[in-house]
Amino acid sequence: MPAACQSLPSFTQRPHNAPRGLISRDPPSQRHPIGFYTVCLAVFCERCAAYILGASMILLLGARYGYTTGDALRLAALVNAVNYLGTLPGGLAVDRVLDARRAMGVGMALLAFGYAALTLSAPGALWLSLLLLALGHALFKPSTQAVIVRLYAPDDARLDAAQVAFYLAVNAGAALGAGIAGLLVRGRDWRASFAVAAAVMLAGRIVLALGRHTLQLRPLGHAVSSTNLPISVSLSSLRRAKIMAALTLAMMLYTVGFGQAEGSLFLWAQDRTDRVLLGFEIPAAWFVGLPALLVLILAPVQLALLPWLQRRVDTLRLVAWGLIAVVLAFVVMIPPTLWSGGHRVSMAWLIACMTLLVAGELLVAPLGLSMMLRLTPPRFVGVVAGAWYVSKALGFWLAGELGALVVR
């Protein structure tokens, strides 16, 4: 365990030597700003559309464009990586040039056009779509975090809970998207899949437009800042940078594992898993959405336990526990891999694997990002959120390379 973990102050407690006035004595209302729910609805639609594509991407590339399984895995992972890689310049633009609310709207419009382009059969439609999706994600992802941070007052203890609740919205959309994809992909109706994705994205854009008046952002000087939170009172700039680097590395390593859900684990579900339940064959694409469904089940438990955990365990240690859970997820898959003899195995193995993946996700992703934002000066929230997503980009790329090696 890094030395920083041993003495890192809790988010919710004032260090004994911290100057008074930096930490709010009165607990804030447990209700979140109305604008937070507007952002969550927009993200719900964005994730639903993204998972309609993600749950059918590998099959689409093989059936419609003739890619081999290995090449389809690599390209699908590269698409994920590029979508996250663009968030660094996108975050910089949000911090320096664009209004975060406007960037969200423009990003959602580009995403809607990107999904619509996939319905076209014209040459180059795939690459046009991927370009529009990359540009849309580059603006949308960092701007959502910039908006959320500026909805809260300084030292607001609700930010951790907000990130977990935000994750609930993300995964509710993902679960619905994977469910829709599983139904449509069974008939290889690619056009209908992406038309639905475009319609969902357009609905999200309308929600954002109708709820724009709820996005009452605080001035940058009054947003969550690294100079008025307990975690940074006693931290030097160098130590703060080390902690942020450790969190970014943790996110990348987690994503290498989680990226297998849309890659090698999806292929395992399709080719090696007995998916028949009560006479019904469960679509393999539904297993892509299983982690999102598990988040909906486990995240409320985490929200209930979060205050108790934060009084006893610092955030870096929780993130480390999350990485251990990800490793254990793949340890679970060793017995069926070695002993199946080429036969289909019980879906219980895959469910156990994904349950551990999700347990790791809930410790690494929302808590890690919340801590990153607490350590970040408000004028750099967009670019730091972009850097966080770049770590996911590298993780997805490595996940694709690993998945391609596995299926050889």
What does the pLDDT look like over 184-216, one tens digit per residue? 766 566 778 889 999 999 999 999 999 989 988
Polymer length of the chain: 408
- Evaluate whether 51 touches 373 at the Cβ level (below 8 Å): no
- Report residue 215 CA to chain centroid gap: 22
What pLDDT score does 154 carry? Answer: 59
H or E element in which residue 206 lies: helix 190-210
Lowest-pLDDT choice from 3-12, 60-69, 248-257, 316-325: 3-12
Residue type, 358: V
47 vs 25, residue with greater confidence? 47
Q: Which residue has the higher pLDDT, 295 or 103?
A: 103
Output phi, psi for 315, to 5 deg.
-65, -40
Q: What angle do CA 104, 50, 166 make, to 5 degrees?
A: 60
Top mean pLDDT of 11-25, 165-179, 251-265 is at: 165-179
296-334 pLDDT tens trace:
888 888 878 877 887 888 878 888 898 999 899 989 988
Q: Quick one: which H or E segment has residue 269?
A: helix 264-271
Nearest CA among 59, 78, 80 for reference residue 69: 59
Tell me the C-alpha distance between 24 and 156, whole Å: 8
Query: Is this model's pTM higher than 0.85 or not?
Result: no
Note whether 398 and 249 are within 8 A (CB). Answer: no
Q: Tell me how far the alpha carbon of residue 232 is from its chain's centroid.
A: 25
Mean pLDDT of the chain: 79
Does domain 33-406 sit in CATH 1.20.1250.20? Answer: yes
Q: With both helix axes pointing from N to C terminus, report the angle between 190-210 and 158-185 in degrees, rounded to the nearest 10.
A: 150
Q: What value does the mean pLDDT take over residues 265-280? A: 85
| Tokens encoding 146 | 């910039």
CA distance 389 to 221: 25
Cα dihedral 51/55/61/63 (nearest 10): -130
Q: What are the structure tokens assigned to 112, written together?
A: 């809607």
Query: What is the model's pLDDT at position 189?
Result: 65
Give the per-residue pLDDT at 209. 93
Residue with tokens 């590269």: 78
6 pLDDT tier (thresholds 50, 70, 90)? very low
Tell me whether strands 273-274 and 345-346 are parallel, antiparallel or unpaired.
Answer: parallel
At residue 208, the pLDDT reads 94
pLDDT at 29: 52
For 139-155, b/e burial (b = at least 16 CB within 10 A) is bbbbbbbbbbbbbbebb
Q: Where are the domains of the chain?
A: 33-406
How does pLDDT run across 224-255, given as a tens digit for each residue? 443 334 444 445 677 878 888 888 888 888 88
For residue 137, pLDDT beyond 50 = yes
Residue 14 has pLDDT above 50, yes or no: no
- Most confident range, picked from 49-63, 139-153, 374-388: 139-153
Distance CA 250, CA 254 (A): 6
